């Protein structure tokens, strides 16, 4: 089955700097890769996703890149703000192939003012 690894487990950056979180997956059939942000005491919130037919997607300060050959994808947050502090999860899936979301273990991001 699918296995998703995520690094780093914790990340601290200064406000205004960029943050990068990386994930690798094992199943080459995976074709949908969402990223979720989870604040304390809340459920995960979808922030961006990418499908296997594109290599990069951007939404304001957030971008995701996908390298299918290497089976890894990354979340990039630019101009970080204190409200970006949260736990971020990546996931991989292949819904057409009956593979539901497999989540990474999460990255705790702290943005220091």
Partner 1 sequence: EAEVAQSPRYKITEKSQAVAFWCDPISGHATLYWYRQILGQGPELLVQFQDESVVDDSQLPKDRFSAERLKGVDSTLKIQPAELGDSAMYLCASSPAGLARPYEQYFGPGTRLTVT
**73 exposure class (CB count in 10 Å sphere: 0-12, 13-18, 19+):** buried
**At 97, phi and psi to the nearest 5?**
-90, 10
**At 25, phi and psi to the nearest 5?**
-130, 160
Residue with smaller CB distance to partner 1, 12 or 45: 45
CB of 113 to partner 1, least distance (A): 25
Residue of 32, 65, 76, 78 that binds partner 1 (CB under 8 A)? 32
Residue of 36, 74, 109, 111 that binds partner 1 (CB under 8 A)? 36
- Tell me what percent of the chain is helix, strand and coil, each rounded to the nearest 5: 5, 60, 35
**Window 79-98: residues binding partner 1 (CB under 8 A):** 89, 91, 93-96, 98
CB of 111 to partner 1, least distance (A): 20
Does position 8 bind partner 1 by CB under 8 A? no
Residue with smaller CB distance to partner 1, 42 or 60: 42
């Amino acid at each position: 089955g699918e296995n998703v690894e995520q690094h780093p487990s914790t990340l601290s950056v200064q406000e205004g700097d960029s943050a990068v979180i990386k994930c690798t997956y094992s199943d080459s059939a995976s074709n949908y890769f969402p990223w979720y942000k989870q604040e304390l005491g809340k459920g995960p919130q979808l922030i961006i996703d990418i499908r296997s037919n594109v290599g990069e997607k951007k939404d304001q300060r957030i971008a995701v890149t996908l390298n299918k050959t290497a089976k890894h994808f990354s979340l990039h947050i630019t101009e970080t703000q204190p409200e970006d502090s949260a736990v971020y999860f990546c996931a991989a899936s292949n819904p057409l192939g009956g593979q539901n979301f497999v989540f990474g273990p999460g990255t705790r991001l702290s943005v220091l003012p």
